[in-house]
Structure 1
């Protein structure tokens, strides 16, 4: 595996937690552990994960509530629920709360590893968007990604930093969709643990200054409170 995918493992039963962590690490994943629902929600706020493996019966906050809460903040991250409850009503509840897959205990370890791999591959496919052309035009503005330059509607040349170009590219590739702060910080800054979101806010303010006719009423670059940022084009 060239790129190490990171997994958040939320399981309060210590022996099972250790066994799963070990097997996932042997498969090449980076694993962060949490033993209760409150801890899981705290960790999700601070780090980026490619997958969450989530037990249902957890202390503090149960797995279904954790799943629902994570979904409100991050619609993309794959969630695999592990549960001792095997009734179809519980299964349906888990999927309704936003889980991508549901595995009942006791489970076959090999099956779990196959499902983990499939979920991560699927989310990677969804995240790899069509590549943008080297020069992208919107309204009367233009961005040359290769030359790291932008041109405003008055054709004024704007030198762009590499990070600015990367962020512009990410937002434009996901045109008309909200890109979460976590995804931006992971893709552009490459941090697993984040700096403040003000960092991104400053970039967005610059983009408005460069490319908007009225930076107070932006047409292209929007902040979506508490979630992330969006590039829109009519």
Structure 2
């Protein structure tokens, strides 16, 4: 490998940054705000492209990785939606059963007290809105980031006569068509990622500069600069004293 330690500069190509090669990426609704910017920064720091073409290939690799993450998120969102519906339906069924049991108890009491069947009026109605709120609350807690809340929700789910693993299994068997498309896309992107990464690794190996040597020289220069500054400070203190 060449020992030419002159690293390419964007100015040599009429740019202030190699990032100028590509248009700015607009965010997409559904992504966590600012997440792509942070992801992109971290990935580019890891890949450390040194030439315009390396930058283009690195951007391609970052885009593939990001798309993979988003497809996994969308697939998992479908998965959670199926489980969410199962939990909500179970809570509604339980609350309706409780309502019916309470009505039966009220009826028995009414008759026991000599009430006329024709005069019977239900003393209360089923509060479906409250039941739905309860159902949504439990379903939301099952995916809480708080492990304690999630554990409590799991216990409530089991008390409903459901089993979390069986719910996952049922959700998988009821896998909607859109989720399958995400799975297919994930497999395709993973293959593409391997191909692009091979290309990028080959580009790095063919670099006309020794990047590690450059980094070592930069570190050495920083150390020397720090020592010079420290010496100047000491000298100033001596003169001042």
Question: TM-score normalized by structure 2?
Answer: 0.30
Ranked by relative contact order (alpha carbons within 8 Å, sequence separation 6 or more), the top structure is 2
Task: Decide which structure has the larger Cα Rg and report it.
Answer: 2
Bigger proportion of residues as strand: 1
